[in-house]
Structure 1
Amino acid sequence: MDLLKLEFSWLDAIDLLIVIVLVIQLYRLLKGSLAFNIFLGLCVIYAIYFLVKALHMTILTSILQNIINVGIIAIIVIFQPEIRKFLLVLGKKTPLSKDSFFTKLFLPDKFKSYKEEEAIINEITLAATHLAQKRTGALIVIANTYRVKFDTASSINIDANISAKLIESIFSKESPLHDGGLIIVGNKMLAAKVILPVSENPNLPTRIGLRHRSAVGITEHSDNLAIIVSEERGTISVAQDGVLSMDISPEELKVKLYEVMVDGIS
Structure 2
Amino acid sequence: MKDVSQFYGFEFRWLYVVDLVIVIFLVIQLYRLLKGSLAFNIFLGLLMVYVVFFVVRYLEMPILTNILQNFINIGLIAIIIIFQPEIRKFLLVLGKKTPLSKDSFLTKLFLPDRFKSYKEEEHIINEVITAVGHMVASQTGALIVIATTYRVKFDSASSITIDGNVSAKLIESIFEKNSPLHDGALIIVGNKILAAKAMLPMSDSPNLPTRVGMRHRSAVGITEHSDNLAIVVSEERATISFAQDGQLTQNVSLEELKVKLYEVLVDGY
| Correspondence 1:159 to 2:160 | no
Paired residues in the alignment total: 261
Structure 2's unaligned 5+ residue stretches are 1-5
Structure 1 consecutive aligned stretches of length 4 or more whose deviation exceeds 4 Å? 5-8
SS in 1 for 2:113: coil
Per the alignment, residue 123 of structure 1 pairs with: 127
* One-letter identity of the residue aligned with 1:263: D
Choose the corresponding residue for 2:110, options 98, 106, 110.
106
* One-letter identity of the residue aligned with 1:63: I
Choose the corresponding residue for 1:236, options 235, 240, 251.
240
Deviations 1:101-128 (A, max 9, x none): 1111112122211111111101101111
Offset at 1:56? 3.0
Supply the distance in 2 between the matched residues of 1:129 and 1:32 (Cα, whole angstroms): 33
Offset at 1:91? 1.1
Deviations 1:35-79 (A, max 9, x none): 111100101111222222233333222222111110000011111
Per the alignment, residue 3 of structure 2 pairs with: none
Structure 1's unaligned 5+ residue stretches are none
Higher mean displacement: 84-93 or 218-227: 84-93
Offset at 1:88? 1.0
TM-score (norm 1): 0.94
Question: RMSD of aligned C-alpha atoms?
Answer: 1.5
| Correspondence 1:246 to 2:250 | yes
Supply the distance in 1 between the matched residues of 2:105 and 2:13 (Cα, whole angstroms): 29
Q: Aligned runs of 1:95-244 on 2, under 5 Å? A: 95-244=99-248
Per the alignment, residue 72 of structure 1 pairs with: 76
Deviations 1:189-228 (A, max 9, x none): 0001111001011111111111101100000010000000
* One-letter identity of the residue aligned with 2:244: Q
Supply the distance in 2 between the matched residues of 1:63 and 1:18 (Cα, whole angstroms): 30
Per the alignment, residue 84 of structure 1 pairs with: 88
Q: Aligned runs of 1:36-51 on 2, under 5 Å? A: 36-51=40-55
Q: Percent identity?
A: 75
Per the alignment, residue 66 of structure 2 pairs with: 62
Deviations 1:232-256 (A, max 9, x none): 1000000000000000000000000
Supply the distance in 1 between the matched residues of 2:88 and 2:110 (Cα, whole angstroms): 28
Per the alignment, residue 22 of structure 1 pairs with: 26
Q: Confirm or deny: 8 A CA contact 2:243 2:249 kept in the other structure.
A: yes
